[in-house]
Structure 1
């Protein structure tokens, strides 16, 4: 009697198909080569999955890490390689390894270190941003269509417009009680920065684009950074600190404002992308004077976003 049996291939007791089955929290060191520049080293966390028909018990779980290892080894040898392209190649190989699958998905989250200058002193510091890459594939017969996923998550600062307006109104009232004229009050209002409470803001943008189109991750990072009250920095001298405080208080934003600002920049920057490009925008503000946090989201297509903005 042959006791060897591929358990994954037998029919399950409960014949229910599964949308996604795979491995998550798989960490790998990825080296991305670039033309004329030093390679980028990323510590990346992968989530890899395929769908599973109701007639099959399991997916051969060990094959997922095997595919990732193969693709990463190839990426190291190539001169140029984008993170979302790595995910795209993994998806194609998943279909080869799992011939029963009609859907496959890869998500890769990494920390990207960029060298950035402080606003006044121009001191360099290493700034870390979370970047998101991925690919989603569907297979019909022998044809495979793939959607690429590219995005980023960036930390900045926001200043509350509501509290600032309250402080401004209170200051005007106090100045009037002290006998200042309307002309002097107007001069004072133009010369001072009014206090408000701040939040650490976390902005996220994720785009899902078809094959044949590319998006620079640096452009997404830039959009998120300039959509808050101010950028933040790892290294700030005194003049830099004053600059950030003045800039953020002179550019107060609600959490809703940040999402709308990102939406406007996305339409302007990525107008070349197809209308069916999926757009996900999220802003979370970590409140300083409240026990809760605030968030806002926009989940749409580029076509719908253009209709609202243009």
Structure 2
């Protein structure tokens, strides 16, 4: 008799007995109420709990979302990673965590689109649901856009990482910050200057965090496309998913004609953001993945237009 036949003939105890073998016990007596209105609510206790809490909530919540875009594809579904929060006064013990996900499910059932107006409404309603005067939501998602080869016109999909953060306060209203990280090609000016032929290049990662003005109108401006253009138009060359040989010739020659240090990138992108009327303040960061070093080259720049006016 082989091993397979032995296993087939093994007499196992019942599933209930197997569970007991591995530690399961019979349910004990149930003495506490099952009705919600009869249960103790520790989170709503009112005492002096020593300190106010700046923010309490939940994070790393993944959920399907819809992304509107002015670039192809104009409507796309993807996965958003959310965090939610609100403040807690010294006299309250805690928050009701389930209300964050209840709010998310409510909007999902109504077709949750990741636009600024919807997220403003979301945070204001969330504050009311939590019985607080403030609330915040942050969602990060991949945003896809079509990119065509400059000569062949053959298309493929690129993507950038986008984040929307909306903070609501009953007294001051909404603050909205958007962030986009896109990839570019940069060619080293120093390498081009000192070498007899060629120059080394690298893939750059440009992150732009922008505080939007109060009068920003998303129906007039796609902030994602605008920030992407600020990064790509100031690069040595754009990134392409599909390149035939004539495309590759054009892209590499363009990079050679437009050498950029990491310092150049943040200054040039900052100039574009400065000229955008819907931008109140911004931070630009660039990280170049060096092709002839193990380290990355980095630079960052921040600017607040409001301080300029003071």
| Bin for the TM-score computed over the shorter chain | 0.7 to 0.9
Are 2:144 and 1:113 equivalent residues in the alignment? yes
Distance 1:211 1:73, change over 3 A: farther
**Pairing partner for 2:189 from 161, 165, 187:** 161
Deviation at 1:12, TM superposition (A): 7.8
The equivalent of 1:22 in structure 2 is 57
Residue of structure 1 in register with 2:43 after alignment: 8
Q: Which position in structure 2 is the counterpart of 1:286?
A: 289
CA contact (8 A) 1:263 1:305 kept: no
Unaligned runs of 5+ in 2: 1-31
Matches within 5 A, 1:77-96: 82-96=114-128
For normalisation by structure 1, the TM-score amounts to: 0.78
What residue ranges of structure 1 are gaps of 5+ in the alignment?
172-193
Give the distance between the partners of 1:225 and 1:96, measured in 2 at CA: 41
Contact kept in structure 2, 1:146 and 1:210, CA below 8 Å: no
CA drift at 1:237: 0.7
- Give structure 1 regions of 4+ aligned residues with deviation exceeding 3 angstroms: 11-14, 32-35, 303-307
**Residue in structure 2 matching 1:70, options 103, 106, 113:** 106
The answer to whether the Cα contact below 8 Å between 2:49 and 2:93 also exists between their aligned partners in 1 is no
SS in 2 for 1:208: strand
1:214-293 alignment runs, 5 A limit:
214=217, 215-216=221-222, 217-268=224-275, 270-271=276-277, 273=278, 277-293=280-296
Does the aligned pair in 2 maintain the 1:152–1:205 contact within 8 Å? yes
Q: How many pairs align?
A: 269
State the shift of 1:34 in Å.
7.9
Aligned partners of 2:252, 2:173: CA distance in 1, in Å?
48
Q: Secondary structure at the match of 2:170?
A: strand
Aligned CA distance change for structure 1 residues 261 and 38 (closer, same or farther; 3 Å): closer
State the SS of the aligned residue for 1:253: coil
Number of the residue aligned with 2:131: 99
**Superposition deviation, residue 38 in structure 1:** 5.9
- Once the two structures are superposed, what CA deviation does each residue of 1:111-162 show, in whole Å capped at 9, x if it has no partner? 111112111111011111222222111223xxx5002222311111111112
**Which residue matches 1:183?**
none
